[in-house]
Every structure is written in structure tokens, then in C-alpha cells.
Chain A
């Protein structure tokens, strides 16, 4: 090993393979049978359970936990998948501390909720690992539906449509299906190629064809899809990345956090993954945290996450913020980027402090940086889309867009938080609406 965390510049191999394997191991190891029973025992089987209401996909949480407690995790998994076909990934990436676990009555009672997320993973892993797919298809309807985008919204919609007997073709711009599950979340949340395995498992229902390397405007057109299919669902996510809009943004070493995360997720050998010595991540969301933490785990000496507003305004959950801090990421708030400084490549970056209304205070700081990751939000890309609202495709409660025969859901559409679980719910519900429409 030639490099260490102290090596200058953007370097690979700052840590040895053993350290990297340790750093990128499972964030929350899976419960073993005993742990699952102990955790399941704590559930009170609440009436009209608050956890269920808090879940965007409305999984019957008390029921699935009781099924675990009574020794039938496979039945528990079925209960979960009935509502959320990507329940395995959601068990890994959901911010449970702001959803189901936040409202768990044992959180109210003891400040210590039932570990719903980990129990969900325990149950869903049982079926996915065994390769058992508990759903079958209804008789063929002869209808064809196009799904654009093989992310959580698109996969969820595709599965539900296939279940109802429609033939589904899923298109994705990337070389692999999965969307953000495959390319956009930290590696330690989806170890052992889970995203890939989950897609394979989901496709076992049959009736779904996946075509990769195709996107709207590049091999696909909405008019063409409308002509060829009985319905179209758009789950195209947010393909564009916001720019900082400051001097020097084009210097070497200034990259998009989403690209870094995607590259890392697809890397076969993390010791070949280069990372700066002094890394600065700009942004306050989950992407910013995922980039910052993984930079640190790759062996960057100093990692700062800089956000222009206060801590309470950060989109990253408190759990994510604490995770970053525990890994040694320095979180700086109320600082807005002003200039990227360096001769050809970034050397340092200057920030100006701001108050909570983003008014500059006049004070500035400079952070040493040989690598800067931008994570200040993503935007919808594409032309000729249905009508937009606030920069997203405008949809109604059923996912219908302004264009007859076109539905949309997930991050690209209005409504809901930009969470995996929300995308799954929107894809599922749009599929139900498409099915109703096609059956009418």
C-alpha cells in the first residue's frame, strides 16, 4: 500500500482492503433469529397502528411483526410485499426514525421504538435470499404498458401491472436496472449487491421486459411510446444536478456527488477508488451525507460537509447527521460557497457565513480542498414532458399527468417526499389506476 490518508491529492488505496471491507460492511447487520424474536416481542400490536399510518406504503406493521414473533417470517414478508414490493430496500434505506419508528408508541413510552426497519429486513431477506417470489400473475389482459425508468417508482409500478396481467416493458437509461437503489445510495446500506438481487427477485413475477440504455430523447419518445403502448408510466427521477454558480466551479476536482456515489457503487475494487485528502461536500441532504461518509470511509483525511442553512433545515435526517459525525465528518452549517480557488485544480474553497435567511454576514472561511462534491439538489431533465409544476411533472392523487394515457411517480413527479418508499407507493398506486383504466 503506497498511499495513506495523508497522501496529497486525489489518490486511490488510502486504506488497505481489510479496512475498506470493514468500513463498507453492513450499516445495520441483519438480525439473527433470536434478535428478531426479542425485537418482535416488544410490539404491542396497536389498534390502527401509528406506524402503519406513518408508512407511505401503509405496510401492516403490527401484523408482520406478529408473524415474525410466531415463527412465520415468510408470511411476514408477504404482508410487507403486498404493500411494498421493494420492502427489502426500504428496510435498508428508509429514514425510519422520521417515519414508522418515530411514531411507535414505545418511542412515546420509553424513547426506544420497536426496531421496525430491521425487523422488516429480517423478514424480507428470508424470502429474497431463498429466491421465493410469493406473487403470481393474473390472466393476461393483452394490454401493454411502458414504464420509463427502472428505479423504485418504475419497478413498483411494473410489478403491480404485471401482477394484474398486463405486459410491461421497462426502459432505463443506465446499463442496469435499479435506479437510485443501484446507483444513488451509500454502499453500506445495500451490501452484497442487494439492489441487483432485489431487481432479479422482483422480475420473477414474469411479464416484465427490461430494456436498458434507452431514455427519453435518446431512443425513446413519448409520442412513440403512446402510440405503441396502452399506457405509459414515467418514473424518470431527477437526472440533472444543480450547479453552485460560483467562480471556479469548472476546476478539476469539483465533481457531482451523485456521480461519485454511482461510481463507488459500481466499483469492483474499492482500493482502486480515488478520493481526495481534503474533501468538501456541499449540500445538506441524504446525497451529501452519503458522499461525505463514503469519502471518509475511503480514507480521506478531512471531510467537511457544508450547508448554507442551519442544522434543523438539513434534509438529511438526524440519524444521518449523527452517522456522518460519528464517522468523523465535520458538519459546517450556515456557510454558502463563494469561490473555488486553485490553479487548474481546486486547492481551497471559500465560504461566506449566512444567517438563517441566507443573508451574508460578511465573514468568510476557506477550507483546504483537493476534491469538492456538489450535492445541492437535482432537477428534472427532458423535453416535451407533460405539464410541470415546481419543476416536476404535475400529477394528481392517482399519478395521472396532464396527458391522457401518461402517468408519473417518484422523484420526477409532484407530491410526497423524495424517498424510495414514497416512490414505491406512487408507482404502485399509479399502476392500480392504470389497471382500473385499462380494465374499464
Chain B
């Protein structure tokens, strides 16, 4: 079994699976149980300043999007940072870290954007023995209205400023948690780097309304007939998170900035994908909130089995391996030609590929009277929609045409050489030699 031990910005943990700062990590009881269940680390639910803690709503805090069979695909929340007194959290963190010295314990922090506040609270929290800090610049609801959370994360200058204060206030690693509610993730990431942050973690939740109560005419979750936008997370946001992680990882300026990947990690495979795109570890919340802490056991067994199969001996072996293959559209090989192929043995004859192709794509699938579905190579543009709507995995696949083979759609033989848009004759800006 592969060794899953992980080191992220100098913080060691038995595996790369951390629980993200969120309800599951709000108190000692939960965190102890999480560690017992196998989680490698936790980012303690965000701590605020001393004094009276924040209050939460007393109605629903969560809204959800479901797939078939009520699988939870997306979760949104309007919960604020911890609503328990700072000193209680610090006492509990101290005890937990004492009893679990080999597990990662990170303190998530959010205080108003004033130098004193940050410089005073970090040393106080450091006394718990925690391994590092995560600056919560991501929460999009509630706290943002008070000038914290994503209100900071949306202004790169603030990120840089607060990161610098924090690095001046502590020797522990500082991770900046980024909000996805921006136009370009590189600006906040670069700001964090300039401010001296040791790493970024992303994504925090996405501004969202999950549903509308059509009787009351109010967004959900609904509090006394009104709703507000909440933070969206869970499997549905994974594609957005993967892209943002990849953008930071492939950007020359931030390429060396460690990333803690967050956003819909539900299985070992999701974790491996984040890490392949450049995340040094991952943080999980919704999967635990959906299935409980035990879910990490599948992540552990799955990741180590895959690593064994691939011959990786450390999680660092594959971090960022997919990053070089993230490119711009203009560099994709336009001479690479594929065609959909339907495996007749696997086909259950539902006809969804046909409906999708005939109604919404390229009319490239033929349906016989006895419901045999075949691809018309002379029409197929290899869009992959049939693959995506087919209910049977791997029933429809894409076959790559060999160089020299005739593409029946264009009536031209497939070229062996790589050729992209930059040099394409149809491109008015083409840089191809005349």
C-alpha cells in the first residue's frame, strides 16, 4: 500500500485529505472523531475576533441541488464563521493538537481588515500549537457585508496587505483561501504571493441561490419568507475549482505557489485530479457533510491503490503532472481526428445518443428500424455529446484516426503533423510561413 504521508508547506499529515474549514470542524468533538476516522488534517472552522461571537440564523442554513435518486450534487450555505467564543475554540484546539500531534491542525482566521487585529490574534492562536493559518478571504455571504471574507478576497491589494501583516505576525505557514467570485483567479493568487503567503487554498464557495420557493416566492434557504445568496459547494463546483487550480499552477508567476485544492472532492479520484493539476493536498467538506467522516476511508484506499498501480511511492510524485497539459485552445492539435464508436454489445438501445445528436448536434448517428444505432463517420465531428449522454459507461468511445486514414467528413487524409490554430490557413492572424 502506497505511503500517503503528505507534507504541505512544511506541515505534515498522515494523508493529503484535510477537512476544510466548515461546520464539520467547528469543535473538538467533531475533530477528534474526524481524526479517528482517518482524516489527515483539519482546518478549524474560522475563528473571529474576541468578544461576543457572531450569531447565525435560526432557520435553514443550507440549500441543495439533487441529481437522480436525490444524490446531493450541490450544497449552499449561509452559515457564518464559528459562533462559539474564541477562548473555547482555542482551548479545544490546544487539547486536540496535544492528543493528535501527527495530524495537521490549521486555524482559519477572519478578523476585520486592520493590522492590529490580525497581528494580535495570530500569536494568540499560535499558542494552541496549531500548524499554520488559513486566511478566510472567501466567505461570500454575511461576513462579506461586514467588509470581511470575500470582500477582502475580491480586492487583490487587500489580500496582499493582510498577507503581509500575517507573515510579519507569525513564523507559521500562512495559507490564503481564495474566493472564486472574481473575474480572474490569477489576480488574487498573485497578490497573495506578493504579500508573502506560503500557499493558497481554493476555491471557497460560489455566490448562489439554489432554488426558489414558488409558493412563497422566496429564494431558498428561506428565513421567514426571505432568502439571501449563499456559498455553493459540492460535486457541482468541482469543474470550476479544477480550472482555477490549473490556472494558478500553469501561470509562470504563481507556478511555484503551493495550492491546497478545494471544491467538490468526493472520491479518491477527485483528489487525484486536483493534485495532478497542481494541488499539494485537498480539502473536503461537502462529501463529509453528506456521508459522514467515514468517507475518507474510501479516499485513502482508492488513492493508495491507484498510486500502487501507477508506481507512485509518494503523493508528491504526481502533483502537477497534468499541469503542463493544460493549454490554451489555440494550441490544441487541429490535425487530431477522432470519431465516435458505439459498442453494439454494450448498447442498451435507449436512443439518447441519437436524440442528442439528431436534435442538437450534427445528425451523425443513424437509427435503424430495429433500434441499432451507428455513427455516420461522414457527419461525426467527434463532439463527444453522445459519450456524455449515454447511460452506459464506455459504451460509446472515441477512436483516434491514424495518420493517413481518410476523414470521411472532410474527405481529407489525417495529417501526421501537429497543427494548431496559430498556423491555420483560416486564421487571419496566422503565423505560418508563407
Interface of A toward B, CB cutoff 8 Å: 37-38, 41-42, 44-50, 105-106, 108-109
Q: Is the CB of A109 within 8 A of B392?
A: yes
Interface membership of B403, Cβ < 8 A: no
A106, closest chain B residue (CB): B348
A69, closest chain B residue (CB): B68
The 10 residue pairs across chains A and B that have the minimum distance between CB atoms: A47-B351, A47-B355, A41-B68, A105-B348, A109-B348, A46-B350, A105-B350, A108-B348, A44-B350, A41-B69
Q: Which residues of A contact B352 (CB under 8 A)?
A: 44-47
CA distance in complex: A106, B367 (Å): 19
Known: A38-B69, A50-B371. A44 touches B391 (CB 8 A): yes
Q: Which residues of A contact B371 (CB under 8 A)?
A: 48, 50
Return the contact of B351 from the options A48, A106, A108 (Cβ within 8 A): A48
B67, closest chain A residue (CB): A41
Return 27 A-B CB contacts under 8 Å, by A number: A37-B70, A38-B69, A41-B68, A41-B70, A42-B68, A44-B350, A44-B391, A45-B352, A46-B349, A46-B350, A46-B351, A46-B352, A47-B350, A47-B351, A47-B352, A47-B354, A48-B351, A48-B367, A48-B371, A105-B348, A105-B349, A105-B350, A106-B348, A108-B349, A109-B348, A109-B391, A109-B392
- How many of chain B's residues touch chain A, expressed as a range? 10 to 19
Q: Which of A38, A42, A44, A108 has the most CB of B within 10 A?
A: A44
Q: Which residues of B contact A49 (CB under 8 A)?
A: 351
Q: Which of A44, A45, A47 has the most CB of B within 10 A?
A: A47
Seed contacts A45-B352, A109-B391; 16 additional CB < 8 Å A-B pairs: A37-B70, A41-B70, A44-B352, A44-B391, A46-B350, A47-B350, A47-B352, A47-B354, A47-B367, A49-B351, A50-B349, A50-B371, A105-B349, A105-B350, A106-B348, A108-B349
When A and B form their complex, what is the total count of cross-chain residue pairs whose Cβ atoms lie within 8 Å? 35
CA distance in complex: A49, B355 (Å): 11
- Interface digits, B353-378 against A, CB 8 Å rule (1 contact, 0 not)? 01100000000000100010000000
CA distance in complex: A45, B350 (Å): 8
Min distance, Cβ B91 to any Cβ of chain A, angstroms: 44
CA distance in complex: A105, B347 (Å): 9
Q: Which of B68, B70, B348, B371 has the most CB of A within 10 A?
A: B348
A107, closest chain B residue (CB): B348
Q: Which residues of A contact B349 (CB under 8 A)?
A: 46, 50, 105, 108
Q: Which residues of A contact B355 (CB under 8 A)?
A: 47
Min distance, Cβ A344 to any Cβ of chain B, angstroms: 60
Min distance, Cβ B185 to any Cβ of chain A, angstroms: 35
Min distance, Cβ A32 to any Cβ of chain B, angstroms: 15
B354, closest chain A residue (CB): A47
Min distance, Cβ B325 to any Cβ of chain A, angstroms: 34
Min distance, Cβ B387 to any Cβ of chain A, angstroms: 15
Q: Which residues of A contact B392 (CB under 8 A)?
A: 109
Min distance, Cβ B69 to any Cβ of chain A, angstroms: 5
> Which residues of B68-92 have CB atoms within 8 Å of chain A's CB atoms?
68-70
CA distance in complex: A263, B391 (Å): 49
B351, closest chain A residue (CB): A47
Q: Which residues of A contact B391 (CB under 8 A)?
A: 44, 109
Min distance, Cβ A382 to any Cβ of chain B, angstroms: 41
> Which residues of B306-354 have CB atoms within 8 Å of chain A's CB atoms?
348-352, 354
Min distance, Cβ B58 to any Cβ of chain A, angstroms: 28
Q: Which residues of B contact A47 (CB under 8 A)?
A: 350-352, 354-355, 367
Q: Which residues of A contact B348 (CB under 8 A)?
A: 105-106, 108-109
CA distance in complex: A108, B371 (Å): 13
CA distance in complex: A45, B392 (Å): 14
Min distance, Cβ A242 to any Cβ of chain B, angstroms: 38
Q: Which residues of B contact A42 (CB under 8 A)?
A: 68
Q: Which residues of A contact B367 (CB under 8 A)?
A: 47-48
Q: Which residues of A contact B70 (CB under 8 A)?
A: 37, 41
Q: Which residues of B contact A109 (CB under 8 A)?
A: 348, 391-392
CA distance in complex: A49, B69 (Å): 21
CA distance in complex: A47, B358 (Å): 11
Min distance, Cβ B347 to any Cβ of chain A, angstroms: 9
CA distance in complex: A73, B70 (Å): 18
CA distance in complex: A41, B348 (Å): 17
Q: Which residues of B contact A46 (CB under 8 A)?
A: 349-352
A103, closest chain B residue (CB): B349
> Which residues of B52-108 have CB atoms within 8 Å of chain A's CB atoms?
68-70
